[in-house]
Amino acid sequence: MDCNQIFQQFGTDVDQNVVEQILIKANQRVDEFLTKEALRDVVSMLDVTSLSVVDTEDKINDLCHKLMVFRGIFSDIPEPAAVCVSPSFVETAGVALGETDIAIASVAGGFPMSQTYVEVKALECAMVEENGADEIDIVMNLGAFLAENYDATVAEIEIIRGEIDSDTTLKVIIETGELPDLSAVRRASLLAMSAGADFVKTSTGKVSVGATPEAVVVMAQAVKDYAKQTGHCCGIKIAGGVRTAEQAALYQAIVAEVLGDEWLTSDTFRIGASSLANNLLSKIEGREINYF
């Protein structure tokens, strides 16, 4: 792949004034996504996440059990799209969830730093898929990207994409909080999609700056431009610091404003979170809920 050709084809410049105008319009639409019906919808787009250094099999089993019985407790609220766990707990989650429609997602490929051998990254991704992962979240090699070694950046993603099945969803984290400017966010998004990403994702949640509205606007613009020219409708996953319904609503409004309301399904929009789920449930039910 000729990365410079990709940049020439899609462009890398970001108009700050356009970004600001989109944010103004999105903020004006936030209330659309704070109705009970809209809050129920966003629950169905959640990747309920547990990626702690102190996770145990018991903790993951408990989380998966709560997802298993979710509809029995909240009968009028759709269950979340996926559970996202560390590689060593993929099999645990698979056994616990059984034959449900809830997807099993796993971070892999040297998460969260991505600073290991590409062979190790590819093997880990293949292993989590073999153990039952339906979706895999990897981190772009930011060291290579920031050094402008774009060929190596893309090659790693392509190698991993080649090691997993075509129907396994690949999400590529571009760690927007570590990128120097919005033009870099656009370049990283374009490279990830060109290398085979099914989703571009904001953050690992392990750095000081997670998702930001400005970065998501630029990601959505890149996704729109890429879809228009290639037909590949890449999804967007928001992760890193999304804790309230109001924050989630703003990100939904941004994606709706740039890409259209049709992008707001679990096939093309996700939010990775832990505390957000409880906040959404509390808003919907009108009482404090600490379910997850």
One-letter amino acid of 172: V
Question: What φ, ψ does residue 139 adopt, rounded to 5°?
Answer: -105, 130
201 is catalytic: yes
Question: What φ, ψ does residue 10 adopt, rounded to 5°?
Answer: -105, -15
Find the catalytic residue in 41, 47, 134, 137: 137
198 is catalytic: no
Exposure b/e, 249-262, CB count within 10 A at least 16 = b: bbbbbbbbbbbeee
237 is catalytic: yes
Q: Are 258 and 250 in contact (CB under 8 A)?
A: no
Question: What φ, ψ does residue 133 adopt, rounded to 5°?
Answer: -70, 130
Of 121, 107, 177, the closest CA to residue 153 belongs to 121
Q: Are 254 and 213 in contact (CB under 8 A)?
A: yes
Find the catalytic residue in 121, 171, 201, 283: 201
Which positions are annotated as active-site residues?
137, 201, 237
